Amino acid sequence: MDKRLPIIDIAPLTTENSAELAFNQAANSLYKALSEVGFAIIVGHQVASETTLAMRKAVSTLFETPREVLARDMVIKGNYRGFVPLGFFTPNSGKGKADQYEAWKLHNETDSDDPICRACNLYGPNKWPDIAQDIKTPVMNYWSELTRVSKCLIIALCKSMNIDEKYILSCMVNPLTNMTLLNYPPTPPDGDTWGQHPHKDFNLLTLLAHDPVGGLEVRTLDEEWIQAECPQDGMILNVGDMLELWSGGRLISTPHRVINRSGNSRQSFPYFSKPRWDVIVEPLLEPINGFEREPLHVGTSAANIWYSNWPDSVSPDLSQHTNYN
């Protein structure tokens, strides 16, 4: 029997005044999945299908735009927002072939006059494509909904681990949360190129809407790669390095990759929740046996890893050099 990611109904976590028993059962099921696999399929998230559909249409419209128009707003090392051409980035280790995707990078929308921009240059307004269609409205509507879902998930996981959720939620004020709008062209069925190389996420939680094309694969604890199959009304959820560290290794940041051999373009829009720039992430519980990792300064680690996506730079974070093939 094929292995599949566990499906968790989080409706009791996203509905006001849920019965305590139902809340605890859903929270414990979520904790179990993320502590055993690091990934789960969530349903009952209360994100309207119309909101996701509008988001999907916005991404499709973006990548129907002539590339010379998108290239007017290229990402640069000092401002990691805007267009990423096909094959532009390499793995953070500086080794391996360039990933075969193109993207539009977005970060927490922050007014340029906000004092936090002076404290950390990773903040600021996003770049939006210079086209007639309104991309920003559906993106920000979807972003707002995932921020709501992410908050519900954080509260539930904190309660499962007896961590004060108020502390983590305070760290999510003015976050470095980001989103990537992605387009993966099909790769040859017998080729050795990745849509995206095997890697772990280094944020808190990642949320990804159902993708009708597929191609996302997750590595299980016994080192088997499985398809991240997801129902149409579901979302894929996974743990990032920062939540693994906060949990003392109880929640698992799991390797995953994208291989698009469907013959069709694959488009997706992962949402990466991340704390405020000045937060230092370190275990809030006694680490489990064998778990050792240095504390992370959110702003420094984000800058180092984003900067090292460029072919002439390598991340100083040694954990980013691991080969997860």
Going from N- to C-terminal start, the domains of the chain cover: 7-315
For residue 78, the model assigns a pLDDT of 73
Per-residue pLDDT of the chain (325 residues; tens, 9 = 90+): 468 999 999 999 999 888 999 999 999 999 999 999 999 999 999 999 999 999 999 999 999 999 999 999 999 887 789 999 998 876 544 455 778 899 999 999 999 999 999 999 999 999 999 999 999 999 999 999 999 999 999 999 999 999 999 999 999 999 999 999 999 998 776 666 788 889 999 999 999 998 888 899 999 988 899 999 999 999 999 999 999 999 999 999 999 999 988 888 999 999 999 999 999 999 999 999 999 999 999 999 988 887 776 666 665 555 544 565 6
Contact 169, 204 (CB under 8 A): no
Predicted confidence at residue 320, as pLDDT, reads 47
Position 324 scores a pLDDT of 58
Domain 7-315 CATH assignment equals 2.60.120.330: yes
296 contacts 241 by C-beta, under 8 angstroms: yes
Nearest-angstrom CA–CA distance, 74 and 217: 29
pLDDT of residue 323: 60
Select from 286, 220, 276, 207 the least CA-distant residue to 247: 286
Report the pLDDT value the prediction gives residue 315, as an integer from 0 to 100. Answer: 53
> Token pair 């959820």 is at which residue?
237
CA 112 to the chain's CA centroid: 24
Query: Whole-model pTM?
Result: 0.93
H helix intervals, the chain: 11-14, 20-36, 49-64, 67-70, 116-119, 136-161, 165-171, 241-246, 298-307
Structure confidence at residue 306 (pLDDT):
79
Question: Which amino acid appears at position 108 of this protein?
Answer: N
- What's 78's DSSP letter? T
The predicted pLDDT at position 90 comes to 62
Task: Sort strands 39-43 and 7-9 into parallel, antiparallel or unpaired.
Answer: parallel
pLDDT the model gives residue 92? 47
